[in-house]
Amino acid sequence: MLQMTIPYLLERAARKCPDKEAIVSETGRLRYREWLENSNRLARALHAMGVKKGDRIATLFLNGRTVLELYLALMKLGAVLAPLNVRLAADELSYIVKNSDANVFVYDHQFRPVVDKVRPGTPRVGRWVVSGGQPLPTEESLEALQEADSAGFEWPDLMESDAACIMYTAGTTGKPKGVIHSHRSCIWAAAAAAGEVDLAPDYRVALVFPLFHVAAFALLVTNLYLGCSTVSMAKFDPASLMETVQRERINRLVFPPTVWNFILQLPDLDRYDTSSVRSLGSGAEPMPTHTKRRLMEVFPNAKLGETYGMTETMAVISTLKPADALSKTDSVGKPFHSVEARIVDELGRDLPAGQIGEILVRGPNVTSGYYQNPVATQEAFTDGWLHTGDLGEMDQDGFLYIRDRKKDMIISGGENIYPREIEEVLATHPKVQEVAVVGAPDPIWGQRVHAAVALKPGVLCTQEEIILHCKDKLAGFKKPRSVTFVAALPRSPAGKVLKRVLRDNLEPDSSFS
């Protein structure tokens, strides 16, 4: 019986269009047959090194040909990917490596300084593999493995139900949670996108989202599902992106509104040839109507759609199609055909159109749960329905609207930031009595991290001291950008911190130093 796995998608594409350009990156170009051959050879070498089905593999890479070959090689062996966010601090990375039970760590040499800090706290990792640079005596060279080959073993049987990856997302408890996705959930998400988002097999699709984000991973699987050409960029730069669009004749671009705004602010934007672009996508946060209109001017041959999703759903819940982009401007569209969505009250009862409640979803693309966290898994599901933690409503036409974020999540530059994680770090400052973190409006990033701090009696402290305390404990994008000092945090009669009051009291022009 055919098992629809991610490696199967590559094998199918290599059979159907072997000479089609599959990967374009800063380090070269690959056709589909070359991608398959290289990944198979690397898989055999990794197997000879000791990688086997079920192993957890931590990876630390920017986008590019190397990581795309590596991912497919590891999944071909039945190993489970645990992609790491390159922006995280060493302590944050160490937690994920330990929580995922990773026994192999593969990384790009440019991240050696942070990896050296991770290494002592992750004794379970038995193999360290580095790409580029000079490997340490205790490390393997990925390039040497890529040149090696080892025949004579049977490929493991892969099942759709086998885990493909553990994608980590921050939780309200302050610790990242590992979202388990099987090959089945990944491919169902890809099939949904392929059927209802403006994509086609002949498209050349820009992959600029880093692959440790679920949106990028879902885009990769969708490209494989359709046999698209993936044009990868290691880092985002507006001018470089537009040059790539023009040079590579890109057909589809997907970014959160913050990134689109960086592109639209280019002073010489009109000089680029954008005629090849047929499809624009957005997600992570609502897009203002004026931004939509400007994008349609810059990319006159393209249609604009928006998508709502989360890590637990492999980035797929609902989609606002181009025909509705300007008539349902604050909607996130209708649920994908394979996804069901409900709006419920606090007792789990369905609410009628127009009433706000929590959004619950279910579908074959939804995670089976959180790795090593049965309590969180149980809390997240009710009778097979996933609690999104978002508050929303549906209109009479079945369009979904996000009205608030139940978990106080901050979205800054397309990054999801959870206040509790930052609060736990700030609470360790010797001068801090109590602290609450909220999102403050920011004209560039959408939101920025703002901390309200109550100091211990008789002490003095500065904003700079508070921010510096986070330097080695949190990723840069999570650190507070502004701080206010208060006598005490506002609380409800039940003792809960009233974050709404903190947000309401922020000065509109409040800035950071």
Q: Which residue has the higher pLDDT, 490 or 249?
A: 249
| CA neighbor of 92 nearest in space, from 121, 51, 129, 131 | 121
pLDDT by residue (tens digit) across 14-38? 999 999 999 999 988 999 999 999 9
Report which DSSP code applies to 216. H
**Cα-Cα-Cα-Cα dihedral sign, residues 411, 416, 417, 420:** positive
| CA–CA separation, 32 and 36 (whole Å) | 6
* DSSP assignment string, 331-368: --BEEPTT-EEEEE-TTS-B--TT--EEEEEE-TTS--
- In which residue are the tokens 């580029």 written? 132
Please, are residues 476 and 512 in contact by the beta-carbon 8 Å criterion?
Answer: no
The CATH-assigned architecture of domain 410-504 is: 2-Layer Sandwich (3.30)
The single residue listed with the structure tokens 């199609």 is 321
Query: What are the residue ranges of CATH 3.40.50.980 in the chain?
Result: 6-15+30-152
Residue 265's pLDDT is 86
Give the pLDDT confidence of 259-313 residue by residue, as tens digits.
888 899 898 899 999 999 999 999 877 777 778 889 999 999 999 999 999 999 9
The CATH 3.40.50.12780 portion of the chain extends over 186-405
Residue 415 has pLDDT above 90, yes or no: no
The candidate with the shortest Cα–Cα distance to 286, out of 268, 302, 308, is 308
What distances in angstroms separate CA 513 from CA 464, 481, 482, 487, 510, one per listed residue? Answer: 8, 8, 7, 22, 10
The tens digit of pLDDT for each residue in 106-163 reads 999 999 999 999 999 999 999 999 999 899 999 999 999 888 777 667 889 999 999 9
Out of 127-136, 167-176, 488-497, 504-513, give the one with best mean pLDDT.
127-136
Closest residue by Cα to residue 422 from 410, 405, 404: 410
Strands (E), 37-103: 56-60, 80-83
The proportion of the chain whose per-residue pLDDT surpasses 70, expressed as a percent, equals 95
What would the CATH number be for the domain defined by 6-15+30-152?
3.40.50.980
Residue 201 CB contacts under 8 Å (≥ 6 apart), including other chains: 226, 227, 228
Instruction: Quote the DSSP letter at residue 497.
Output: B
Of 205-209, 310-314, 490-494, which range is least confident?
490-494
pLDDT tens-digit series, residues 354-408: 998 899 999 999 999 999 999 999 999 999 999 998 888 999 999 999 876 666 7
- Average pLDDT score, the chain: 91
- Whole-number Å distance between alpha carbons of 116 and 276: 44
Angle, helices 289-298/257-264, rounded to nearest 10 degrees: 50
Is the pLDDT assigned to residue 492 strictly greater than 70? no
**Model pTM score:** 0.83
In the chain, list all ranges with CATH 3.30.300.30: 410-504
Phi, psi of 90 (to 5 degrees): -60, -40
Q: Could you tell me if 299 and 274 are in contact, meaning their C-beta atoms sit under 8 angstroms apart?
A: yes
- Count CA atoms closer than 13 A to 113's CA, side-chain side: 6
* Cα dihedral 283, 288, 291, 297 sign: positive
The C-alpha atoms of residue 414 and residue 259 are separated, in whole angstroms, by 8
SS3 at position 496 = coil
Read off the pLDDT of residues 493-507 as tens digits, 9 standing for 90 and up.
445 678 878 888 776
* Residue 509, pLDDT above cutoff 50: no
Tokens 């980590």, located at residue: 168
Longest dimension (CA), the chain: 73
d(CA 347, CA 342): 13
At the topology level, CATH places domain 186-405 in Rossmann fold (3.40.50)
Alpha-carbon gap, residue 193 to 62, rounded angstroms: 24
Number of helices (H) and strands (E), helices first, in the chain?
A: 15, 27
Q: pLDDT at residue 508 above 70? A: no
3-state secondary structure (DSSP) of residue 174:
coil
Instruction: List the beta bridge partners of residue 341.
Output: 361
Which pLDDT tens digit goes with each residue over 37-68? 999 999 999 999 999 999 999 999 999 999 99
Residue 304's DSSP bridge partners are 280
